[in-house]
Amino acid sequence: MEEGPAMSSPKNSILVTDTHSGDETSLLDILDHVLNAGVVIRGSIVISLAGVDLVYLGLDVILTSIETALKHLQNDVPKSNS
According to DSSP, the residues that pair with 57 across neighbouring strands are 45
**Does an H or E element contain 34, and which?**
helix 24-36
By the rule CB under 8 A, 19 interacts with another protein: yes
Instruction: Provide the mask over 25-64, with x wherever binding to another protein is found by CB under 8 A and - wherever it is not.
Output: xxx-xxx-xxxxxxxxx-xxxxxxxx--x-x---x--xx-
CA neighbor of 56 nearest in space, from 44, 38, 74: 44
| Site membership for another protein, residue 80 (CB under 8 A) | no
DSSP result, 52-76 = EEEEEEEHHHHHHHHHHHHHHHHTT
79 binds another protein (CB under 8 A): no
Task: State the residues that interact with another protein by CB under 8 A.
Answer: 1-5, 7, 9, 11-17, 19, 25-27, 29-31, 33-41, 43-50, 53, 55, 59, 62-63, 66, 69-70, 73, 76-77
